[in-house]
Amino acid sequence: MSLRAGLGIGIAIAGTAGAAIWAELIMVPEDTGNVVHVTYWEKWTAFERDAMKAVVDKYNATQGKQKHIFVDFMPVSGIEDKTIVAISGEMPPDIAGLSTLSLAAFADNDAIVPLDDYCRQYRIKESDYVPIYWRQMVYGGHVFALPTTPDSNSLHYNRTEFRAAGLDPDKPPQTFEEMDAMSEKLTKKDSQGRYIQFGFIPSDPGWWNWGWGYFFGGELWNGSDKITCNSPENVQGFEWVAGYSHRYGPSQINSFKSGFVFASPTNGFISGKEAMQLQGVWMYNFISKFNSKLDWAAAPMPHPANRPDLADMTFADSDNVVIPVGAKHPKEAFDFIAFLQRQENMELLCMGQRKQSPLAKVSEAFLKNHPNPFIRLFTDLPKGRNGKTPPMLGIVNEYMADLNEAFDEVTLLRKTPKEALDDVQARVQEKLDHYRWIMKLRKGSRR
């Protein structure tokens, strides 16, 4: 099986012709004189791009200049697909900024370089990182990536609307039962009986539809070979979600949120039409841009009243940098990656993107000067026992897509949670068994 075909098992490759993709690739600059040019492809634009560029510029002016290394930083759209094509064509960048969802598939298909030896050389170790972020960089017992900017999420709520509903703005819901009751008080209709405000909508923004079972004690796999999405806990999570559709009606909910655009003034939470929303650390950026006068706060997501052990749940993730197989300058590439992992440089990057740091040690100045008033919450939640991530599976993107489809079936009341998750269980288990069989064959063929 070819590299590109193998990666296609776990990553949905766009149906663009190969020649068209190649035409968009940025060619690797030639080395000039005694300066080694390291090509770095990254997905970011706007202020997120500028934040990384500041770190690259600092490296080029200091350590890179001393070592005769220059990092050519290039924003690239569709980076994962284009990195696949570049690796297949034996012209990859030296560094690529990927997402953790694609890491397992890249590693399974020998598309990225294990970084264990480089980490030892530069004395980069597990204890340097918040554990949940480090675990996402390790696959099959090897370090395949190092983190850039992480994220976590929490409940965002509108303090003004809390006051208007007679709720204490300093007391967000602690349990899902409290949240449901508060949501009822925060939901409003106009004189025509149309909803003009909701307290909470599980389907908005819809980025963690796969994960509601975690809040009720569920897991999505056994860490090895079994999918577990139809466990009682996961079903309970989807039943809680379905409760909102039963209460308010799926068509009414969809009509209400049909005009919402996330990064705009029409965002449901930013516009004040949703009083509570599950959102990530990045939400501050959009609130400050589109409605800086919004009186809001962030707090841990609630937990079931009978499961206090599930308090402070958060989904934590991190972007990362990898060295593709076939990179022309892997040693020089890792020299920059190691530079990025230093506390002062990581904080420069994360401050520029207004996120928390993935490192175990964070300066007080970073926390004190950070513009997000709740940065300590987003920093601390992933350190707890209830930080959750998507499964590290080569088919994780397909799994997430199937769970999103099941979520839609449940919220539209087309299937019961048990029916929808039983269907996903059967489909994804078959996909996982097939994927593991292919990986076993490939491993045997290398001997």
Query: 332 with 224, same domain?
Result: no
pLDDT band (50, 70, 90) for residue 1: very low
Report phi then psi at 196, rounded to 5: -115, -10
- Structural contact between residues 37 and 70, judged by C-beta atoms closer than 8 angstroms: yes
User: What is the predicted pLDDT for the residue at 5?
Assistant: 42
**Residues forming a β-bridge with 319:** 99
Q: What is the mean pLDDT of residues 372-376?
A: 98
Tokens of 160: 């003004």
Q: Calculate helix-pair angle for 250-257, 232-248, nearest 10 degrees.
A: 80
d(CA 41, CA 64): 17
* Count: domains in the chain: 2
Q: Above 80 in pLDDT, residue 11?
A: no
User: What is the predicted pLDDT for the residue at 194?
Assistant: 94
Q: Above 90 in pLDDT, residue 15?
A: no
Q: What is the mean pLDDT of residues 200-209?
A: 96
Query: 427 with 362, same domain?
Result: no
Residue 38 lies in a domain: yes
H or E stretch at 98: strand 95-99
* Alpha-carbon torsion angle 168, 174, 178, 182, nearest 10: 40
Q: Above 50 in pLDDT, residue 224?
A: yes
d(CA 199, CA 176): 13
Residue 98 lies in a domain: yes
Query: 158 with 286, same domain?
Result: yes
Looking at 360, 383, 406, which one is the last position of a domain? 383
Residue 401 lies in a domain: yes
Q: Above 50 in pLDDT, residue 351?
A: yes
Q: Above 70 in pLDDT, residue 31?
A: no
Q: What is the mean pLDDT of residues 88-101?
A: 96
Residue 427 lies in a domain: yes
Q: Above 80 in pLDDT, residue 242?
A: yes
Tokens of 31: 């080395």
User: What is the predicted pLDDT for the residue at 443?
Assistant: 78
Of 60, 90, 78, whose CA–CA distance to 11 is shortest? 78
pLDDT band (50, 70, 90) for residue 444: confident
3-state secondary structure of 247: helix
Query: 288 with 340, same domain?
Result: no
Tokens of 320: 């990362």
Query: 179 with 267, same domain?
Result: yes
Cβ contacts of 20 within 8 Å, gap of 6 or more: none
- Structural contact between residues 283 and 306, judged by C-beta atoms closer than 8 angstroms: no
Query: 70 with 196, same domain?
Result: no
| Distances 151 to 180, 316, 375 between C-alpha atoms, Å | 26, 6, 11
Share of the chain above pLDDT 70, in %: 92
* Alpha-carbon torsion angle 73, 78, 83, 84, nearest 10: 180
| Distances 376 to 215, 342, 355 between C-alpha atoms, Å | 22, 20, 10
DSSP per-residue letters across 68-86? TEEEEEEE-TTHHHHHHHH
pLDDT band (50, 70, 90) for residue 17: very low
Q: Above 80 in pLDDT, residue 229?
A: yes
d(CA 327, CA 120): 20
pLDDT band (50, 70, 90) for residue 33: confident
Residue 220 lies in a domain: yes
User: What is the predicted pLDDT for the residue at 442?
Assistant: 84
Residue 82 identity (one-letter amino acid)? K
Q: What is the mean pLDDT of residues 22-50?
A: 80
d(CA 316, CA 150): 7
Q: What is the largest CA-CA distance in the chain?
A: 75
Q: Calculate helix-pair angle for 100-108, 396-411, nearest 10 degrees.
A: 140
Report phi then psi at 227, rounded to 5: -80, 140
Name which residue leads in pLDDT, 18 or 383: 383
Share of the chain above pLDDT 90, in %: 91
Query: 172 with 83, same domain?
Result: no
Query: 204 with 236, same domain?
Result: yes
Query: 41 with 73, same domain?
Result: yes
Residue 444 lies in a domain: no
Query: 194 with 108, same domain?
Result: no
Residue 426 lies in a domain: yes
Q: Domain of residue 103: give its range.
A: 3-151+317-383
Query: 51 with 130, same domain?
Result: yes
Query: 77 with 147, same domain?
Result: yes
pLDDT band (50, 70, 90) for residue 19: very low
H or E stretch at 189: strand 188-189
Judged by phi (left if over 0) then psi (alpha if -120 to 50, else beta), residue 223 lies in: left
- Structural contact between residues 111 and 325, judged by C-beta atoms closer than 8 angstroms: yes
3-state secondary structure of 45: coil
3-state secondary structure of 334: helix
Residue 445 lies in a domain: no
Q: Above 80 in pLDDT, residue 113?
A: yes
User: What is the predicted pLDDT for the residue at 28?
Assistant: 55
- pLDDT, one tens digit per residue, over 55-81 is 999 999 999 999 999 999 999 999 999
pLDDT band (50, 70, 90) for residue 138: very high
3-state secondary structure of 236: helix
Q: Above 70 in pLDDT, residue 446?
A: no
Q: Above 50 in pLDDT, residue 12?
A: no
DSSP strand pairing (317-322 vs 146-151): antiparallel
Looking at 383, 402, 421, which one is the last position of a domain? 383
pLDDT, the chain, mean? 93
- Structural contact between residues 229 and 403, judged by C-beta atoms closer than 8 angstroms: yes
Q: Above 80 in pLDDT, residue 8?
A: no
Q: Above 60 in pLDDT, residue 345?
A: yes
- Structural contact between residues 287 and 294, judged by C-beta atoms closer than 8 angstroms: yes
Half-sphere exposure of 175 (CA within 13 A, CB side): 9
- pLDDT, one tens digit per residue, over 266-311 is 999 999 999 999 999 999 999 999 999 999 999 999 999 999 999 9
- Structural contact between residues 260 and 266, judged by C-beta atoms closer than 8 angstroms: yes
- Structural contact between residues 332 and 404, judged by C-beta atoms closer than 8 angstroms: no
Q: Which CATH number is 308's domain given?
A: 3.40.190.10
Cβ count within 10 A of residue 61: 10
Q: What is the mean pLDDT of residues 118-136?
A: 98
- Structural contact between residues 328 and 94, judged by C-beta atoms closer than 8 angstroms: yes
Report phi then psi at 208, rounded to 5: -125, 35
Q: Above 60 in pLDDT, residue 4?
A: no
